[in-house]
Amino acid sequence: MQPHPQAFDLVLAYPQWQGSARYENLLRGARAVEQVCARFGPVASVQLSDDDSDAYGVKRWGAIFDQFCSAQEIMGTHRPKRVLTAGGDCAVDIAVIDYLNGLYPSLNVIWIDTHLDTNTPETSPSGSFHGMPVSAIMGQAPGPIRSRLRSPVSPTQFRYFGIRIGDEGEWQFQRAHDLKTLDPDMRVEGPVHIHFDLDVLDPAEFPYLAYGVPGGLPVEDAISLVHRIARESDVVGFTVTEFAPANDQDAQEGSKVIERLCDAVVGR
């Protein structure tokens, strides 16, 4: 893999694993994603916390909150206009989306994922924070994260793609807020943040997942989708999450797909 012209003015390396219940390989995956993303812009890293305390109905809340505050501080210091986030579990772009929504009030958020991610501490059966980021960005974050978010996302700014799985509480949130899916023929315009959870991919093609579900999106279709969104709109944020390779060889193989996704974002 060769360096690319820097399309993003910040790559936020956010190796958070504490939000997931299947976290064993996430840190390896996050480091591999960072290596790919570093070819697309200058890197600033969220420092991992060793506070494993639970609070506010969230497991390992202490670390999650520390890391969220670190991400906010980085955003405030660098003031980027385009952010590439290298995760980590599925909750790594809450601070990024809040920041970008403040910078671009007409921001559209495209959430490409198998899971709804709309749990709250009251509805989550696991207390795992990576199931809560969509409700969080819409103003229902747990504990003191809520008071630190300044620009909640409106449901009208938000579109899902690929969702198939959710708890009853998540489906209730989706229905209550009328969260819509992206029509394949719908043109996406304006500033856009794309959240890409790799578990949306078919594990028969991309098996490097903690939560792989058979029958997911083919890799080529995913790359085509991202490329189309980038062609029609102005992608100011792109996040890759939930890469869980079991070993270094898997990390190298999966990274090839991740680089192609990043290439698609920048129009290559």
CA 201 – CA 198 distance, rounded (Å): 6
Angle, CA 66 vertex, CA 61 and CA 68 arms, to 5°? 95
Residues facing 96 on adjacent strands: none
- Domain limits of the chain? 10-265
Residue 29: which of 268, 245, 262 has the closest Cα? 245
Average pLDDT along the chain: 95
Q: Report pLDDT for 180.
A: 97
CB 94 within 8 A of CB 111: no
Q: Report pLDDT for 119.
A: 96
Q: Report pLDDT for 4.
A: 53
pLDDT tens per residue, range 81-120 = 999 999 999 999 999 999 999 999 889 999 999 999 999 9
Q: Report pLDDT for 184.
A: 79
CA 261 – CA 256 distance, rounded (Å): 9
Percent of the chain with pLDDT over 70: 97
Q: How many CB atoms lie within 10 A of CB 41?
A: 21
Say yes or no to pLDDT of 12 above 50: yes
Q: Report pLDDT for 67.
A: 98
- Mean pLDDT of the region 125-143: 96
The domain made up of 10-265 is a member of CATH 2.60.40.1930: no
186 pLDDT tier (thresholds 50, 70, 90): confident
- Mean pLDDT of the region 233-241: 97
Say yes or no to pLDDT of 3 above 60: no
Distance (Å) of CA 268 to CA 5, 107, 148, 198, 230 = 11, 23, 36, 20, 10
pTM check: above 0.85: yes
Say yes or no to pLDDT of 65 above 50: yes
